[in-house]
Structure 1
Amino acid sequence: MPFDGAGSWAPVALSSDLPPGTVIPAWTPEGSIALWRSQSGRAAASSDRCPHRGMRLSHGFVRGEALSCIYHGWSYSPSGGCIRIPAHPDLVPPETIRVAVQRVEESDGILWVAVGQPAMQPPPLEELIPLRSLTVETDVAAIEDVAGAEIDANGLIRLPEFPWIALLLAPQEKHTLLHLMVDRDRSSADRVAASRTVESIRRAAEERQRESA
């Protein structure tokens, strides 16, 4: 993850994986989050536990510009404050009822969540286009070993054999989230080939991890 001394950015998902009005689970080194997008298109990241009964907010739903818990419907704004308690419709929730939030930036088809207080913006990746994300049941080192290259300061691995393929890696709690990206000028056939290549890398890395366990 890009680190600037004050914090870092975790590439938690592709923009295309989070349509308006949806919520998905995600993870950063600060813990599990509910990553959601309001109906107007704003992306937000909230702690994945409702302060009422501890239900995962990533199991909830988005209504308008708020994220609601699936259990009792408590609703939270992108800034984390509780704005509605259905059992008490006339109550203005106190400001003390809130969920922790993390800063979200969206650029070049990637959703980045801040870890700490990064002073810089996420790295520019405008020369690349994201294709898909996949979970690799290994650590980053195993992927580097199979790919034949090391991760750079932006979290990318460029494949020596296919330098137009880039792997954007996000270490998770027990695995690695891999976002496959290619140079924007590549053909449809190249994009299919890139997807096949990354599947081969995933299988080889997982096999290597099993052998070394």
Structure 2
Amino acid sequence: MDEPDGWYAVALGADIEPSTSAGTRLFGHELVVWRDAAGAVHVWEDRCPHRGMRLSFGFVRGDHIACLYHGWRYDAAGQCRFIPAHPDLDVSPMIRTRTYPCRERAGLIWVRWGAPADAPETAPDAAEAVPVSPLRSLYLDAPAARLAVALGGAGSDGLTRIDLDGSSVLVAVQPLAAEASAAHIVVPVPPDAPAADLARLAAACVALRRSIEGAVP
């Protein structure tokens, strides 16, 4: 599976509340998306370096995330800071997890994949000024390429504008694995958009998913 460099949306920002985490995938790689108590977002490899337990199964306290298995605690930079079985241990700086550059723009959490942290930040920066309301994330049994074709191609900022039940929405495609993808959908309207309109569009999303999954590859 090709893994093109770039920024990829991996979650709706509204779905990751402060002090929570969630697991996801990008090109088959397991990731944890978490938000600390202050609201900052983080995207890491979803694996505790100790025994390989998924960090997304753990818990967030302040600006640390802890593994559910043995409680190893990691700071916002991915460095292990505390091991409950050895509370007085000065933890080695070698014990750390892999982290990825991430940003929150246009109601979406983006991760930079396959490039150094100082690479251009075109996708999230281009989307920054768009006022949006989160709609929903669709998870499809279809490759990202098929999803992108069905949507008419991706925009230069990583977002595709489509018509959904008479309303314009923005879609970001996440390649989960070879035969699975996600579409994170936001509506370019103020966050206080009428609930009835958002509910109507959410229902239309289900029909969109079914039509894409049922399309001939």
TM-score, structure 1 normalization? 0.85
Superposed, which structure 2 residues align to 1:36-185 within 5 Å?
36-115=34-113, 116-117=115-116, 118-121=119-122, 122=124, 123-124=126-127, 126-147=130-151, 149-160=152-163, 162=166, 164-173=168-177, 174-184=179-189
- 2:198 paired with 1:191: yes
- Contact map agreement 2:7 2:158 (CA 8 A) in 1: no
CA distance, structure 2, for counterparts of residue 82 and residue 102 of structure 1: 16
More divergent stretch after superposition (122-131 vs 56-65): 122-131
The DSSP-based 3-state class of the residue aligned with 1:159 is strand
Root mean square deviation of aligned Cα: 2.3
- Contact map agreement 1:13 1:112 (CA 8 A) in 2: yes
- Contact map agreement 2:24 2:32 (CA 8 A) in 1: yes
The DSSP-based 3-state class of the residue aligned with 1:98 is coil
TM-score, structure 2 normalization? 0.84
How has the CA–CA distance of structure 1 residues 137 and 78 changed in structure 2, closer, same or farther, with 3 Å as cutoff? same
How has the CA–CA distance of structure 1 residues 96 and 141 changed in structure 2, closer, same or farther, with 3 Å as cutoff? closer
The DSSP-based 3-state class of the residue aligned with 1:12 is strand
For these two proteins, the number of residue pairs brought into alignment is: 204
- Contact map agreement 2:8 2:158 (CA 8 A) in 1: no
The DSSP-based 3-state class of the residue aligned with 1:155 is coil
- Contact map agreement 1:155 1:170 (CA 8 A) in 2: no
Residue in structure 1 matched with residue 208 of structure 2 by the alignment:
201
CA distance, structure 1, for counterparts of residue 133 and residue 25 of structure 2: 22
Q: CA deviation at 1:145?
A: 4.9
What amino acid maps onto 2:79 in structure 1?
A: G
- Contact map agreement 2:107 2:186 (CA 8 A) in 1: no
What amino acid maps onto 1:179 in structure 2?
A: H
More divergent stretch after superposition (25-34 vs 89-98): 25-34
What amino acid maps onto 2:96 in structure 1?
A: R
What amino acid maps onto 1:130 in structure 2?
A: P
Q: CA deviation at 1:127?
A: 4.0
Which consecutive residues of structure 1, in runs of 5 or more, have no partner in the other structure? none
User: What do the CA deviations read for 1:148-175 (whole angstroms, capped 9, x no partner)?
Assistant: x222222333225746122221121131
What amino acid maps onto 2:172 in structure 1?
A: L
The DSSP-based 3-state class of the residue aligned with 2:44 is strand
Which consecutive residues of structure 2, in runs of 5 or more, have no partner in the other structure? none
User: What do the CA deviations read for 1:54-91 (whole angstroms, capped 9, x no partner)?
Assistant: 11111111122111111111111111111000000001
